[in-house]
């Protein structure tokens, strides 16, 4: 299956705002053109959890809002073992759009109303891509194990996530650790690493 094209991040935010307006419950998976993976968890139209590059909350939002272009998919809802974000969905979207420079101390969560206006995309420098270091390339079997195992936890976005990380490193343990950071549930992330270690006959990761 062909991968979707990268889309301007502001257009993806418009779609996410629409999901919120509809009261959707889902996990939004994002992969940027500079190798940053992110998740936005929606619950009844509210943004309740954000993860980007293994960072949660404000740190995750700070990284997420600098995306320029990305691919997006909707996955089944996933419950994160974390306290919900302290800002309203409207404030979170404003911050991601770049309409506000700073997040307030915290605002009550409310649902986004229909007809959310499109805001200008933030202007930020894209992080440079990193090339995989030298060393033996991963075998097709190893790639398949990573993709099929990660798909159990994050769904169809696993192929894109794995492809991006395969470009960064060939170290199996590093790959497992990086991919585990894309799983928001800590218990499931640990199980993923255990599954990979068993499938590839590695020491405990």
Per-residue model confidence as pLDDT tens digits over 38-62? 999 999 999 999 989 888 889 999 9
Answer yes or no: is 12 within a domain: yes
> DSSP alpha helices (H): ranges in 42-130?
57-64, 89-97
Answer yes or no: is 127 within a domain: no
Judgement on whether residues 31 and 91 belong to the same structural domain of the protein: yes
CB 51 within 8 A of CB 188: no
> In which residue are the tokens 């440079």 written?
128
Which domain, by its residues, includes 76?
A: 7-97
Question: Tell me, what's the pLDDT at 107?
Answer: 52
Question: Tell me, what's the pLDDT at 185?
Answer: 87
Average pLDDT score over residue span 70-98: 83
Answer yes or no: is 117 within a domain: no
Q: How far is CA 53 from the centre of its chain?
A: 7
> Which pTM value belongs to this model?
0.60
Point out the domain boundary residue: 66, 97, 128.
Answer: 97
Distances (CA, A) of 131 to 164, 168, 177: 10, 5, 18
Question: Tell me, what's the pLDDT at 78?
Answer: 67
The fraction of the chain above a pLDDT of 70, given in percent, is: 80
153 Cβ neighbours under 8 A, 6+ residues apart: 183, 185, 188, 189, 191, 192
Judgement on whether residues 153 and 91 belong to the same structural domain of the protein: no
Task: Inform me whether the pLDDT recorded for 125 exceeds 80.
Answer: no
Judgement on whether residues 92 and 156 belong to the same structural domain of the protein: no
Answer yes or no: is 84 within a domain: yes
The fraction of the chain above a pLDDT of 90, given in percent, is: 40
- Which strand ranges, in their side-by-side order, compose the sheet holding 46-52? 7-8, 69-75, 26-32, 37-43, 46-52, 55-56
Average pLDDT score over residue span 122-141: 54
Average pLDDT score over residue span 155-172: 82
- How many structural domains is the chain composed of? 2
Task: Inform me whether the pLDDT recorded for 165 exceeds 70.
Answer: yes
Answer yes or no: is 173 within a domain: yes
Question: Tell me, what's the pLDDT at 47?
Answer: 93
Judgement on whether residues 20 and 88 belong to the same structural domain of the protein: yes
Point out the domain boundary residue: 97, 129, 160.
Answer: 97
Judgement on whether residues 93 and 149 belong to the same structural domain of the protein: no
Question: Tell me, what's the pLDDT at 79?
Answer: 57
Task: Inform me whether the pLDDT recorded for 133 exceeds 80.
Answer: no
Per-residue model confidence as pLDDT tens digits over 74-87? 887 765 555 678 89
Judgement on whether residues 144 and 84 belong to the same structural domain of the protein: no
Judgement on whether residues 78 and 14 belong to the same structural domain of the protein: yes
Binning pLDDT at 50, 70 and 90, where does residue 63 land? Answer: very high
Answer yes or no: is 32 within a domain: yes
Distances (CA, A) of 51 to 36, 137, 202: 11, 29, 27
Answer yes or no: is 106 within a domain: no
Task: Inform me whether the pLDDT recorded for 182 exceeds 90.
Answer: no
Judgement on whether residues 16 and 87 belong to the same structural domain of the protein: yes
Answer yes or no: is 129 within a domain: no
């Amino acid at each position: 299956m062909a991968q979707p094209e990268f889309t301007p991040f502001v257009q993806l935010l418009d779609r996410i705002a629409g999901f919120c307006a509809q009261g959707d419950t889902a996990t939004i998976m994002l992969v940027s053109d500079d190798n940053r993976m992110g998740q936005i968890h929606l619950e009844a139209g509210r943004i309740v959890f954000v993860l980007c590059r293994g960072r949660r909350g404000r740190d995750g939002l700070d990284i997420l809002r600098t995306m320029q272009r990305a691919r997006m998919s909707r996955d089944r809802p996933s419950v994160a073992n974390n306290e919900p974000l302290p800002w309203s969905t409207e404030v979170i979207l404003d911050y991601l759009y770049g309409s506000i420079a700073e997040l307030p101390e915290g605002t009550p969560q409310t649902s986004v109303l229909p007809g959310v206006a499109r805001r200008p995309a933030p202007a930020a420098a894209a992080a440079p891509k990193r090339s995989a270091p030298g060393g033996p390339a991963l075998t097709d079997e190893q790639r398949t194990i990573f993709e099929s195992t990660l798909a159990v936890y994050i769904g169809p976005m696993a192929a894109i996530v794995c492809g991006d990380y395969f470009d960064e490193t060939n170290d199996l343990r590093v790959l497992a650790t990086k991919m585990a950071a894309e799983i928001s549930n800590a218990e499931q992330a640990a199980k993923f690493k255990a599954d990979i270690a068993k499938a590839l006959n590695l020491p405990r990761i």
